[in-house]
A and B are shown apart, each in its own frame.
Chain A
Amino acid sequence: MKVMIRGNESIAYAFKLAKVKVIPAYPITPSTLVPEKISEFIANGEMDAQFVPVESEHSAISAAIGASSKGVRVGTATASQGLALMHEVLFIASGMRLPIVMGIGNRALSAPINIWCDHQDMMAQRDTGWMQFYAESNQEGLDLGLMAFKIAEDERILLPAMIGIDAFVLTHTVEPVEMPEQKDVDDFLGEFVPHYVTLDPKKPATLGSFGFPQHYMEFKFGQWVAMEHAKKVIDEVFEKFANKFDRKYSKVSAEFMEDANIAIVTMGSMSGTAREFVKKMREKGKKIGLVKLTVFRPFPKEELLSILKDVPVVAVMERNISFGFGGAVYAEMGANFVNESKSPKILDFIVGLGGRDITFKTFEAVLETAERSLKGEKVDEVNWVDVNKEAVLKVEGSL
């Protein structure tokens, strides 16, 4: 059945369809509608779950760990400052191998305070041991939300997962979404079985104990292995999902890439605009293609190597910045090719921070630089696009 819903509702419906049992959550723009919607589902008797209206995001994720340790399915949602406040506890959720799923309304971080879209919030959590998925549309938000449970709870994995939906562009925008039938979701996810040790008075266990140097690294190596296994399990689950619901997902999707000499790499909602731009450029005879990352953790190394190895120029467009180096996707893309005998020229484009619009004009600027690089011209590795550089350099001093 097709419904018209906002991105936040995609996450809320994913939790409802997955029959999540405990949802501890705290309001923050732009993801506030998730706990509001859950509260509504419960009030209407449509959802049999415990909503815990915690006093902070730190407590939201802490309560999520408590509930998940007890052995029930747990979901939560946050964004930006809220996700940053959770930082400490995110490591604990993954270190304890609890398959919690969290929706993120990807939003910029202060200062200056800003409620609009970028990916800095989730990118800043990339080392916390959570799997990371980025949705292009509300449909993807819902589907990835459902699949995240199946992947996270797989006994080969047992890692928490976040699904990023872009602030406002998705969280608050109504889009048509194919709503799966409950029985199909039940069928797809199966009964929740915790494949981990839980808090059970009949089988007492100590969870979250003190790890000395002689054990700590084995725990961490276990998480590394699980994240490696996740690459395969994600593919399996994507395939199962496609078979059941007829919607295909892949960690990396390549479009117009067969003969491309310039690849634009995107994540999240900007991929839609990018696709239109690429189509238009193709009509003009330009050999440009689109590579969309749906999964960022685990980093889809193998797929990117095979898609991009023969492409002369790769233009990474990203809504995050690691000051002192460049964007996170650029850094990892570069590292991905460093030991290959052949590597594309990899360029970084910092775009759309704090909700700045990403338009055809943005893509034109990216393409212009990428084409110069293709011709052999030397161009900057990290390029800030759509920024009033003159004004800033006047204050900060020129480079």
Chain B
Amino acid sequence: MTENYEDMEFFAPGHGMCAGCAAPIIVKWVLKLSGPNTIVVNATGCLEVATTAYPHTSWRIPWLHVAFENSAAAASGVEAALRATGEKANVIVFGGDGGTVDIGLQALSGMVERGHNVLYVLYDNEAYMNTGIQRSSATPWGAWTTTSKVGKANPIGKLRPKKPIARIIAAHNAKYVATANPAIFQDFKKKVQKALSYEGPRFLHVLSSCTTGWRHDPSKTIEILRLAADTGLFPLYEIIDGDIENMRITYHPKKFKPVEEYLKMQGRFRHLLKNPDLVKKLQDDVNAWWEKYGYH
């Protein structure tokens, strides 16, 4: 039995992330569950910038930042060095959606294909927040960002759906892939523990609300994230050994809430609410997903 570090903090308070940001909750809990024998590699982004202003640091475990798009490669190197010396430690990457789903996808694909013993945690706030809310391939359809603006000629905002990154990584035959949501806490915790228990490349796609970019009340973080699950917009599932056919849904909302409930709490979707057809399209998309995969 491994030791329990839940009472310890490896991610120190006093960082510069916004009040109400979900990312610190995710990081703090992943580290509580992994314990001190952990090396973190962090991609450039909000989390990295706001926690390591030299000479200060929020990290009480060894931590490495190299650049934006290469954390999976840097972690591959750390893990190779551990293998070379015969040491054992958890190697955990924290990357944003930009650093993971866009510019870092190649490095991540390589890391998973090569089979490095690394847990990659994507904290997905659905845009490039550190540079001021630009769209990423993880930004959902219909979201306003500073590069998917809403106007007369475009009433929708982002015109393309979110890239299904978890399924893409699972298709690499990763050891363990799961989507998670810190507001569905027991499911989130179980998945982190499960991910930590395996050897090989593991990937957690964790939804992470951003008060600034999603334009939401900082006190509503958990409420909004819970709605992401309960509307079915961000389904929670796990895929082991790349067996996508047997993807397992781990959280079935007892009663699906209408997507409006999620949308209306966030400024980034305000424009959609003015247009019932657009809301309906989104609701139809969600329904279609659950019709197709909900039996899993």
Contact = CB atoms under 8 A, between A and B. Distances in A.
A136 B46 CA distance: 47
Contacts of B54: 209-212, 215
B164 interface: no
A205 B63 CA distance: 6
Nearest to A199: B62
9 contacts: A54-B76, A56-B107, A59-B107, A66-B73, A96-B66, A204-B59, A205-B63, A208-B52, A209-B54
Given A52-B77, A66-B41, A208 B84 contact: no
Given A209-B52, A215-B54, A62 B84 contact: no
Contacts of B48: 210
Interface of B: 36-39, 41, 48-49, 52-55, 57, 59-67, 69-70, 72-85, 89, 106-107, 109-110, 113-114
Contacts of B37: 201
Interface stretch (A69-77, A122-130, A272-280, A322-330): A69-77
Given A63-B77, A201-B36, A207 B63 contact: yes
Contacts of A67: 77-78, 80-81, 84
B80 A206 contact: no
Given A54-B76, A64-B77, A21 B84 contact: yes
A357 interface: no
B67 A204 contact: no
Given A55-B113, A67-B77, A206-B63, 6 more contacts: A58-B70, A62-B73, A63-B74, A66-B73, A66-B77, A207-B65
Contacts of A59: 70, 72-73, 76, 106-107, 110
Contacts of A71: 81
A212 B53 contact: yes
Contacts of A22: 77, 80-81, 84
Q: Which of A22, A58, A92 has the most CB of B within 10 A?
A: A22
A60 B67 CA distance: 13
Closest 9 interchain pairs by CB?
A66-B77, A55-B110, A63-B77, A59-B73, A70-B81, A62-B70, A208-B65, A62-B73, A209-B52
A89 B66 contact: yes
Nearest to B83: A50
| Interface core residue of B78, B83, B89 (most chain A CB under 10 Å) | B78
Given A53-B114, A204-B63, A215 B84 contact: no
B85 A89 contact: no
Nearest to A71: B81
Nearest to B109: A55
Contacts of A215: 54-55
Contacts of B53: 209-210, 212
A55 B107 contact: yes
Given A54-B110, A72-B85, A207 B64 contact: yes
A26 to B, nearest CB: 10
A24 interface: yes
Contacts of A72: 81, 84-85
A54 B73 contact: yes
